[in-house]
């Protein structure tokens, strides 16, 4: 697989981006359409947001991957690879979706709790910031 490769699948055109960081060879998939109540939403499956340590991984892989994902426009749903990611938001919203008596009830016609472009944008920004911080930390370690 190469950067920008595409795959037509089920009436969708998926685009793959190489986004190493956590693991070499990880990809991010854009162009996924998910539906809630018949309404389409643009989703992404981001792989490789973390990093394993070292200046090369922090500076090259993680930063470049976060910046690449930040350029993808219109993401409304972040399909998490790990169940623990964004645990606070996810667990609160899952409870709201699953139980009508939950602390954050979801009424008829409300968007699905995972349709949350603002949280995705914040997460990308936080990942970019953390990558920049990791670069500085690794440079300081290397200077000692």
- pLDDT for residue 4: 95
The predicted pLDDT at position 12 comes to 94
Q: What's phi and psi for 32, nearest 5 deg?
A: -85, 130
Q: Please say whether the beta carbons of 68 and 30 come within 8 A.
A: no
The owner of tokens 């009508």 is 100
Look up the pTM and report it.
0.76
Task: For 22-48, give one letter per residue: b (16+ CB within 10 A) or e.
Answer: beeebbbbbbbeeeeeeeebbbbbbbb
What confidence score (pLDDT) does residue 85 get?
56
Looking at residue 71, its pLDDT comes to 94
pLDDT digits (tens, 9 = 90+) for 64-95: 888 899 999 999 998 877 655 555 455 445 54
Q: What is the pLDDT of residue 84?
A: 52
Strands in the chain per DSSP E = 6-9, 12-18, 27-36, 39-45, 77-78
For residue 103, the model assigns a pLDDT of 47
34 near 77, Cβ under 8 Å? yes
Q: Which residues of the chain are under the pLDDT cut of 50?
A: 88, 91-92, 95-96, 98-104
Q: Go through the domains of the chain in sequence order and give each one's CATH number.
A: 6-139 (3.60.15.10)
């Amino acid at each position: 697989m190469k950067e920008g490769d595409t795959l037509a699948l089920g009436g969708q055109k998926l685009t793959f981006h190489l986004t190493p960081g956590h693991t070499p060879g990880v990809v991010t998939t854009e162009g996924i359409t998910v539906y809630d109540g018949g309404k389409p939403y643009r989703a992404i499956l981001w792989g490789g947001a973390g990093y394993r340590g070292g200046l090369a991984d922090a500076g090259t892989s993680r930063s470049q991957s976060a910046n690449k994902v930040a350029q993808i426009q219109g993401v409304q749903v972040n399909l998490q690879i790990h169940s623990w990611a964004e645990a606070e938001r996810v667990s609160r919203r899952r409870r709201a979706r699953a139980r009508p008596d939950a602390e954050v009830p979801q009424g008829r016609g409300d968007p699905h709790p995972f349709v949350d472009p603002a949280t995705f944008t914040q997460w990308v920004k936080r990942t970019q910031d953390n990558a920049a911080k990791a670069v500085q930390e690794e440079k300081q370690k290397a200077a000692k």
